[in-house]
Amino acid sequence: MADTAYPGTPPDIGSRPSVPTERVVARLRSHARVLFWPALIFIALPGLSFYSFSVFTERWEHTLIGILATLAFLVLVLLPYILWLNRRSTITTRRIIVRRGFFIRERREIFHSRGYHVALKRSWLQSAFRSGDIVISSGVEKPLVLADVPGANAVLETLQDLVEKNQIVLPPQAGSVGTVTTAF
């Protein structure tokens, strides 16, 4: 007896055209050296506060020292860490996703298939740490800057490879002779 499909069942999965899945290639943040001064202040602030408590004896002075130390911690230590954590970029096999912001969130996406120009800018300090600013310009919008990316050379090469792989060459349309269209 031959196998018959029940009405309403989906066709065999093997007969469907396969769509390549989007994979994460890299997740990036700016170089962690931007947290050097906040970490140093985090270490020095308690010692400086306790030393100030021993030098100044009045109660109002202790209160003022406590308030100033708390404000210094919030502005000079906690805020830079929060800002660093809220700026992230994700490179996938199809696009670049940049997320920024804490209270006001901004998300930008650039698809590799549209094509773009990638450039690397470095200062002497960034060269010493092998990081750099990657500038991505599509020609239509303002350039997207991935600021102070660690391993900038590897990221630059990866982006260039992804753009090359995602360029789609369309077959000639009916009625046209010998033309090839490239989609950007």
Locate the domains of the chain by residue range.
Answer: 23-30+91-168, 34-84
- 183 Cβ contact list (under 8 Å, min separation 6): 113, 167, 168, 170
Cα→Cα distances 97→29, 84, 156, 176, Å: 12, 16, 15, 37
Residues 168, 183: contact at Cβ < 8 Å? yes
pLDDT of residue 25: 92
pLDDT at 179: 43
CA torsion through residues 143, 147, 153, 156, sign: negative
**Token pair in block for residue 84:** 């660093």
Ranges of the chain whose pLDDT falls below 70? 1-20, 168-184
Predicted local distance difference test score (pLDDT) of residue 181: 41
pLDDT recorded at residue 58: 92
Those residues with Cβ within 8 angstroms of residue 74's Cβ, 6 or more apart along the chain or in another chain: none
pLDDT in tens, 48-59: 999 999 999 899
Give the pLDDT of residue 183. 44
Measured at the CA of 138, the angle between CA 164 and CA 93, to 5 degrees, comes to 40
Q: Rounded CA gap, 35 and 47, in Å?
A: 19
